[in-house]
């Protein structure tokens, strides 16, 4: 499942081919993914793509008519750009561009999302995304925000990190990695973290996500770049998927796997307190 670094990487990869191009035609081959696809009515009008942006794990294809096409890749969604279109199983939506290139949305499990939403002004975000927490690289995402998020919250810190209304962009893989870097046990109640620990955690979130973006994300199971290449961050993962390995930091602990809120969680029982 793509997380923030992967989505950022995808945005960078598709941006040069899409910005300033007109969408001539949209073809939709299935009624709904996770939610109904509401872009069928756009078949006729031409719209120019003026920006490709990201908010949390959403890709925003901004059009010159104050609308954005919101794309969420869900579990198995992927985007590719090709000319001519080479039909593959699970190609659900095609965006035909004015230069005969096609942006293709493919999704075998159909947990993704493609929706057209109005925006108030250029560069704004649609209402649907207003509830999301600040972006990890924004000024609003500071230590005070993190302290507020953890205060009085009994649920484990790993689950708090994965709540998009509290912290945006930390999915399952990077939650384990961030907590390992911070030396914080994933099952610790959020309120039990000291201000100093929160400071370290805050820094770790940014470091891990930036490193992952630089490496082009991780390639795990279904995720690949639009050009088919793999992200390199997989090689830098230190706990995720490392069950049974000796901890690369303390050299004593054996990386342990557990389930939290139904998701695989990895940690070192020796150096994460
Ligand atoms: Zn360790």
Q: Which domains does the chain have, with CATH numbers?
A: 4-129 (3.20.190.10), 143-267 (1.10.8.50)
Residue, of 221 and 30, whose pLDDT is higher: 30
State residue 189's pLDDT score: 98
User: Of residues 57, 80, 153, 188, which has the active-site annotation?
Assistant: 57
> From ligand 1's centre to the CA of 249, what distance in Å?
5
State residue 180's pLDDT score: 98
Q: How many CB atoms lie within 10 A of CB 239?
A: 26
> From ligand 1's centre to the CA of 194, what distance in Å?
20
CA nearest 149: which of 162, 138, 160?
160
> From ligand 1's centre to the CA of 169, what distance in Å?
25
User: Of residues 3, 6, 8, 115, which has the active-site annotation?
Assistant: 3
State residue 39's pLDDT score: 82
pTM: predicted TM-score of the whole model, two decimal places: 0.84
> From ligand 1's centre to the CA of 159, what distance in Å?
21
Is position 263 annotated as part of the catalytic site? Answer: yes
Question: pLDDT averaged over the chain?
Answer: 90
Residue, of 149 and 215, whose pLDDT is higher: 149
Contact (CB, 8 A) for 37 and 114? yes
Cross-strand bridge partners of residue 158: none
Percentage of the residues of the chain whose pLDDT score is greater than 90: 71
Tell me what the mean pLDDT of segment 10-24 comes to.
92
Tell me what the mean pLDDT of segment 154-160 comes to.
97
State residue 121's pLDDT score: 95
Tell me what the mean pLDDT of segment 34-48 comes to.
74
User: Of residues 2, 126, 136, 226, which has the active-site annotation?
Assistant: 2
Q: pLDDT by residue (tens digit) across 83-122?
A: 889 999 999 999 999 998 999 999 999 999 999 999 999 9
> From ligand 1's centre to the CA of 263, what distance in Å?
21
Please tell me the distance from the alpha carbon of residue 205 to that of residue 133, in angstroms, as a whole number: 14
Is position 235 annotated as part of the catalytic site? Answer: no
> From ligand 1's centre to the CA of 111, what distance in Å?
36
Q: pLDDT by residue (tens digit) across 45-80?
A: 579 999 999 999 999 999 999 999 999 999 889 898
| Greatest Cα pair distance in the chain | 63
Of the given ranges (60-64, 215-219, 240-244), which has the lowest mean pLDDT? 215-219
Residue 3 has pLDDT above 80, yes or no: yes
Is position 3 annotated as part of the catalytic site? Answer: yes
Is position 203 annotated as part of the catalytic site? Answer: no
């Amino acid at each position: 499942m793509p997380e923030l670094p992967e989505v950022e990487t995808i945005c960078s990869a598709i941006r040069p081919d899409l910005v300033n191009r007109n969408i001539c035609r949209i073809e939709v081959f299935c009624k709904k993914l996770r939610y109904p696809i509401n872009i069928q009515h756009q078949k006729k009008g031409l719209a120019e793509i003026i920006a490709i942006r990201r908010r949390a794990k959403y890709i925003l294809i901004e059009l010159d008519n104050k609308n954005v096409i919101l794309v969420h890749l869900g579990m198995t969604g992927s985007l590719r750009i090709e000319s001519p279109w080479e039909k593959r199983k699970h190609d659900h939506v095609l965006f035909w561009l004015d230069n005969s290139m096609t942006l293709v949305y493919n999704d075998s499990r159909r947990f993704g999302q493609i929706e057209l939403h109005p925006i108030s002004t250029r560069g704004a975000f649609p209402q649907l995304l207003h509830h999301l927490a600040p972006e990890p690289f924004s000024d609003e995402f500071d230590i005070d925000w993190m302290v507020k998020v953890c205060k009085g919250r009994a649920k484990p810190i790993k689950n708090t990190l994965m709540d998009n209304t509290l912290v945006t962009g930390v999915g399952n893989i990077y939650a384990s990695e961030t907590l390992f870097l911070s030396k914080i046990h994933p099952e610790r109640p959020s309120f039990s973290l000291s201000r100093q620990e929160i400071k370290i955690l805050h820094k770790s979130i940014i470091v891990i996500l930036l490193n992952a973006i630089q490496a082009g994300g991780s390639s795990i199971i279904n995720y690949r770049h639009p050009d088919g290449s793999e992200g390199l961050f997989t090689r830098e993962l230190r706990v995720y998927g490392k069950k049974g390995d000796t901890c690369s930091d303390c050299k004593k602990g054996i990386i342990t796997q557990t389930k939290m809120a139904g998701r695989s969680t990895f940690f070192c029982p020796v150096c994460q307190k």
